Structure 1
Amino acid sequence: MTAQTIDTSKLWDMIGDIRFGMLTVRGADGRLYSRPMTTQNGEADHGGVSWFFMSRSGQPVADLTASPDVNVAYADPASERYVSVSGAGRLVEDPVKKQELWSTAAKAWFPGGVEDPDLALVAVLVAEAEYWDVKANKAVQIFKLAKAAQTGEEQANPGEHRRVRMR
């Protein structure tokens, strides 16, 4: 499958209701480590950057500072939406952006608010994304799977699968 450059609105429509993404970074030992993170993007932030608040003293920040290549995976099994985003993570020192993205939920992690010295703003500059959006309802999917198993025919893709290049 070749990647194509498209409007980012489809990508953000798919991610929009998924509260947590699994951020994967390469550790100092060369292994990959994934941690759940909350995407902080607001309505105005639906371009090629995903925003996260992280602990400045935490391992994910240390890992992405040493090796900026990251992946963020989103899944919503109930609506059969899956998104994998790859790009480069970097710390951003921007108090205005921190304030813009701040929420009361973030205060549970950073009691000092946007002024908390441990609060790191991390931007993931999205290079490429891949998504799977299954449109058929479960009954139709089960029927098609059963038919494919019975006839030996290959199961047709019941939804949309795309790879998109952001830059």
Structure 2
Amino acid sequence: MSHHNEQAEQLSPAETEDRIWKIADDIRICMLTTWSGSEQHSRPLSAHVSRDEHAVYFLVDESGHKNEEIEKFPEVSCAFVDKGSNDYVVIAGEAKITNDRAKIKELWSNFAKAWWDDENDPSIRLLTVSPSRGEVWDGPGSAIAKAKMLLSAATGGDIDMGETGKTRL
């Protein structure tokens, strides 16, 4: 019986990656955590999740402590929570702030109007997170309790499933 339960809790690396990208894309709002050198700071941001581009994008203002923190300490994490289904995803990776006006225009939405008049506002910056690690905790309704994955493209086919479905890609 216990063997059957173990089987139910394993997702393949590909399934794990699918879940991470799908949940992040569905939830959209995440807590972005940065490091100041002495403490962590978290704030809610609206994420634009693009699996095809292997990136999570945010529109941010040019002012703000997070920008300085990211320049010094580019490793960040993005936590997505779906309270309704008890799904949790964390995507960690390297963040970069740029003034990519074409991408800013592409990501512009009505949601952003709460902070800026339009996409041409010169204070808007693009924050890009390039994921290197991901973890998913699925709610009780799902077969999988916890799965981890590493999104590092450099390691090729080196797979370490571990007990929670961890993988390098």
TM-score (norm 2): 0.74
For the 8 Å contact 2:48–2:58, the answer to whether it is kept is yes
Alignment of 1:165 with 2:165, yes or no, is no
| Structure with max Cα Rg | 1
Q: CA deviation at 1:53?
A: 0.8
For the 8 Å contact 2:99–2:124, the answer to whether it is kept is no
Which stretches in structure 2 are left out of the alignment for 5+ residues? Answer: 1-11, 153-169
Instruction: Indicate the larger mover: 127-136 or 50-59.
Output: 127-136
Amino acid corresponding to residue 74 of structure 2 in structure 1: P
For the 8 Å contact 1:91–1:123, the answer to whether it is kept is yes
Residue matched to 2:31: 22
Residue matched to 1:32: 40
Q: Secondary structure at the match of 2:26?
A: coil
Q: CA deviation at 1:89?
A: 0.5
Alignment of 1:102 with 2:105, yes or no, is no
Which stretches in structure 1 are left out of the alignment for 5+ residues? Answer: 138-157
2: CA distance, partners of 1:91 / 1:16: 21
TM-score (norm 1): 0.75
Residue matched to 2:124: 119
Q: CA deviation at 1:73?
A: 0.7
Two-structure CA RMSD over aligned residues (Å): 2.0
Q: Secondary structure at the match of 2:119?
A: helix
Alignment of 1:84 with 2:69, yes or no, is no
Identity of aligned residues (%): 27
Q: CA deviation at 1:86?
A: 0.8
Q: Secondary structure at the match of 1:16?
A: helix
Q: CA deviation at 1:159?
A: 2.9
Aligned residues: 139
Distance 1:95 1:5, change over 3 A: farther
Alignment of 1:138-153 (within 5 A): none
Amino acid corresponding to residue 36 of structure 2 in structure 1: G
